[in-house]
Structure 1
Amino acid sequence: MLSVRRSVLRWGLEFTVRRPPQTVSSWPGWSPRIAGHLCSSSTQNPSGSESPEKVHRIPVQCKPSQFDKKILLWTGRFKSIDEIPPLLPPEMIDAARNKARVKTCYIMIGLTIIACFAVIASAKRAVERRESLTSWNLAKKAKWREEAALAAQAKAK
């Protein structure tokens, strides 16, 4: 059985030309940094004519969106919107986004801790008033039964 497999494999490999799988990162001119940005890049040779094989360079400058400008201000890269140049390196925008992401996470962690303490405080006050979810639920169901009984009496008349 093993010898049959080997011969089949050998036979299959003789007649097929294997090429490595092409991934997105191996596409010419594609870079993860430029996938979501409007970046300026040159695809022409210095002589001005395009060769049959295009030469793609990684873009050096990107035009920041209004949201990117707000992030750059919030992270402290620039003092005002007027100071932000029309084109920026993509690394600066990425670094500002990462810093904003970390700041947002810290703010969310802080708000979660504050909310936990608020729930603890309100639960302690509810215990002092002898309130619980069970008592609220029983009172609500008793009210519904009363309303249903009144509706049934009104309908019977």
Structure 2
Amino acid sequence: MLRLFTKTALARISHPKLENVRFLSQTKCVFEKTPASSTSNESQSPQTPANQAPTDAAQTQPWQKKSQYRNVTNFDKRVLVSVGKYKSLNDVPDKVPHETLDRARDKFRVKMCIYMMVVCVIFCIVQIIRGKKAAERGESVVNSNMEWHRKYNEEAAKKENK
């Protein structure tokens, strides 16, 4: 039922160097539920556990490195505080892991989009109320457009006569 991937994809997932990749380590448990074909020699290679750290520094892969820290700007500090990661601007350190900063920016972006949607709905409601009041007074877009064209044509006629 879960055999959506080819045999080569299964062989790549069982490759020991790719064991620590997050996506592959998560999908491997899905593939273990299905019977693996024994035709591929690559799928029978020895595997190391995903949570075991390499013993040699030369074996360290880029995805195994500790998180890199980034300098925090004043705007980033405000984002981190508004998201709720820190209590005040003084609590924010000078360097923050980039994963934390990216996650905070994503939350801030979603929060700002929600605020803009709320403001847009409020402005729409205000315009509806203003339009209904203008209709009660007898004003309409067609009448105001006709009035503007009448004034424009009068001014143009005055300029031609001079």
| Fold shared by both chains (TM-score > 0.5) | yes
Give how far 1:122 is off. Answer: 0.8
Question: Are 2:107 and 1:107 aligned?
Answer: no
Partner of 1:7: none
Aligned match of 2:81 in 51, 63, 73?
73
Q: Bigger radius of gyration, 1 or 2? A: 1
Displacement of 1:107 in angstroms is 0.4
What does the per-residue CA deviation read over 1:18-57, in whole Å, with 9 as the maximum and x for residues that have no partner? xxxxxxxxxxxxxxxxxxxxxxxxxxx97xxxx8x99753
Q: In structure 2, what residue type is equivalent to 1:61?
A: Y
Q: Summarize the alignment of residues 2-151 of structure 1 with structure 2, pairs less than 5 Å apart.
A: 56=62, 57-151=65-159
Higher RCO (CA 8 Å, separation ≥ 6 residues): 2
Gaps of 5+ in 2: 1-55
Give, in whole Å, the separation in 2 of the partners of 1:86 and 1:144.
61
> Percent of aligned positions with the same letter in both sequences?
32
Q: Is the Cα–Cα contact under 8 Å of residues 77 and 89 in structure 2 kept in the other structure?
A: yes
Could you tell me how far apart the structure 2 residues matched to 1:88 and 1:152 are?
A: 70
Deviations 1:39-85 (A, max 9, x none): xxxxxx97xxxx8x997535442222222111011112112222111
Contact map agreement 2:68 2:97 (CA 8 A) in 1: yes
More helix by share: 2
Q: What is the total number of aligned residue pairs between the two structures? A: 105
Contact 2:67 2:99 in 1 (8 A): no
The CA distance in 2 between the partners of 1:54 and 1:94, in whole Å, is 24
Q: Which blocks of at least 5 consecutive residues in structure 1 are unaligned?
A: 1-44
Distance 1:145 1:152 in 2: 11
Q: Distance in 2 between matches of 1:141 and 1:124?
A: 24
